[in-house]
């Protein structure tokens, strides 16, 4: 429960200490995974983190990669809200095959308007990275679409009638998480996966899932990382 501690989160949130913590955890996780996982998969995850800042640990990246791979062959698009420098987006690019991938971010960091109580921990524009930098990082991949601006407003330009097999939320905030759930849930294919980062450590993310699921038939699956997922019925 130590990582849920508000004081610790305030101290570590967003700075060099947070990055160092993620790096140290990832080194240990990578060392452990090397003992039993396919080296090619590990190498491919390492490439997605090469020279990019990321907020996900190695095990979390592994989950993103495996779950995105698990929907291969399903019809439907993939999406991510919360792209930052594009590390997890690159994993989706590698796993998506011929499917379209839709990437949503302000590309100017966390939106100031919805920080509210989370303000103690985050600064407006924290985790900012330019759209051009992410486009360059993902330039080898086809059918990748970028939506710059505040989500869900930015989704107005998403072509109508899209259905999704896999969506990844990594938005840190209560309102952003709730908006992701409200927007994508009705558009998920049966058996489609909604994966979120930070469920077990960020109160706002947890609250958004709890509220949203009150009148839904799906049960939340908590993963051993900070992540959680839903499988659409």
The contact set with ligand SAM (CB under 6 A) reads: 54-56, 82-84, 87-88, 104-106, 109-111, 127, 150-151, 170-173, 176
Residue with tokens 């929907």: 71
Partners of residue 196 on adjacent β-strands: 169, 228
Closest separation in Å from C-beta 52 to ligand SAM = 7
List the 77-81 sheet strands across, edge first.
144-148, 101-105, 77-81, 164-169, 188-196, 228-231, 221-222
Closest separation in Å from C-beta 24 to ligand SAM = 16
Q: 27 or 190, CB closer to ligand SAM? A: 27
Q: 77 or 105, CB closer to ligand SAM? A: 105
Decide if 180 contacts 81 (C-beta within 8 A): yes
Nearest one of 165, 170, 163, 205 to 186, comparing CA atoms: 163
Q: 21 or 75, CB closer to ligand SAM? A: 21
Closest separation in Å from C-beta 125 to ligand SAM = 8
Q: 176 or 227, CB closer to ligand SAM? A: 176
H/E run at residue 80: strand 77-81
Closest separation in Å from C-beta 35 to ligand SAM = 25
């Amino acid at each position: 429960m130590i990582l849920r501690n508000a004081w610790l989160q305030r101290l570590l949130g967003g700075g060099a200490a947070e990055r160092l913590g993620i790096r140290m955890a990832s080194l240990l996780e990578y060392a452990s995974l090397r003992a039993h996982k396919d080296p090619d998969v590990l190498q491919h995850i390492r490439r997605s983190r090469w020279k990019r800042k990321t907020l996900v640990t190695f095990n979390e990246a592994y989950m993103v990669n495996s779950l995105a791979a698990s929907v291969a062959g399903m019809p439907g698009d993939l999406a991510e809200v919360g792209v930052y420098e594009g590390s997890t987006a690159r994993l989706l690019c590698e796993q998506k095959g011929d499917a379209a991938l839709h990437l949503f971010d302000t590309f100017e960091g966390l939106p100031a308007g919805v920080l509210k109580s989370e303000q103690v921990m985050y600064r407006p524009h924290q985790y900012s990275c330019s759209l051009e930098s992410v486009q360059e990082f993902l330039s080898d991949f086809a059918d990748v679409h970028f939506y710059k601006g505040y989500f869900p407003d930015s989704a107005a330009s998403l072509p109508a009638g899209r259905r999704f097999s896999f969506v990844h939320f990594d938005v840190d905030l209560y309102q952003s998480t709730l908006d992701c759930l409200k927007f994508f849930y009705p558009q998920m294919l049966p058996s489609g996966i909604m994966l979120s980062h930070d469920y077990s450590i960020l109160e706002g993310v947890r609250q958004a899932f709890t509220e949203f699921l009150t009148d839904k038939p799906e049960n939340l699956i908590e993963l051993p990382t900070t992540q959680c997922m839903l499988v659409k019925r």
